[in-house]
A = this chain, B = another copy of it.
């Protein structure tokens, strides 16, 4: 049984009851349109916590006017059914008017890991993410929060925000779930035509090949540039392919640094992102 609450009062009442019983509470923030990747996050949360809250909120603050806020899939009924099947105790689905009431005037800004990459193409994105995630964390007051590594830069931004604001909780990254052909699961995959869907796994394939070349000793920046060129030749509009320090996302400066390869590319009207560790 997955209970659905929409008000912060109901949410806090349930969480307070759990906490009163000494239970560990995890949150999995989502924008709904749940797929196997989200359910994997819930499973990871269930392994560490006694109770799991899944938040479902398509956050207007992280979409630019020209982006896909309106057409972003909203499937609350099937989302809740999926959460029930997997044993998530609580879904919290606030309205936009409840999250951002009239007079709302506070926002968060993150530099550091938020600089470059996604920010070059979606300048308002991480401010919107940091603000809504802070609000959700302070509404739920969880012990743990689970985010997918598929949005790797977002994971680092959220970790940074939680550390900087001294929120008494831990942010846990969970490895990306992929289709059999390697395509990272994403709610936006639903936008792809059959033809585009055939092309999409090439992003992951290129990242894997690039990682092998870097392990073999090739220069990370040159390898990333070559991968970007290969994706462009294959028909993608490439926003970036980049090799970065896996902890700070700063450019790779010396041998032995932990490296993460990150890519963003568009097929038709759909923008896909992926990343892997080297």
Contacts and interface: CB of A to CB of B under 8 A. Distances in A.
Interface of A: 8, 12, 103-114, 130, 134-135, 138-139, 141, 160-161, 164-168, 248
Contacts of A248: 103
A106 B168 CA distance: 16
Contact of A166 (B114, B135, B166): B135
Contacts of A141: 168
Nearest to A105: B112
Contact of A104 (B104, B105, B134, B164): B164
B166 A139 contact: yes
Nearest to A156: B105
A248 B111 CA distance: 30
A52 B203 CA distance: 56
Contacts of A103: 112, 160, 248
A165 B106 contact: yes
Most chain B CB within 10 A, of A108, A130, A164, is at A164
Contacts of A167: 138
A135 B165 contact: yes
A107 to B, nearest CB: 5
Contacts of A134: 165
Contacts of A165: 106, 134-135, 138
A108 B107 contact: yes
A245 B275 CA distance: 51
Contacts of A107: 108-109
A151 to B, nearest CB: 17
A130 B167 CA distance: 15
A167 B130 CA distance: 15
22 contacts: A8-B166, A103-B112, A103-B160, A104-B164, A105-B110, A105-B111, A105-B113, A105-B114, A105-B160, A106-B108, A106-B110, A106-B130, A106-B161, A106-B164, A106-B165, A134-B165, A135-B164, A135-B165, A135-B166, A138-B165, A138-B167, A138-B168
Nearest to A162: B106
B130 A12 contact: no
A77 to B, nearest CB: 27
Closest 10 CB pairs of A and B: A105-B112, A106-B164, A105-B111, A138-B166, A139-B166, A106-B161, A106-B110, A107-B109, A104-B164, A105-B110
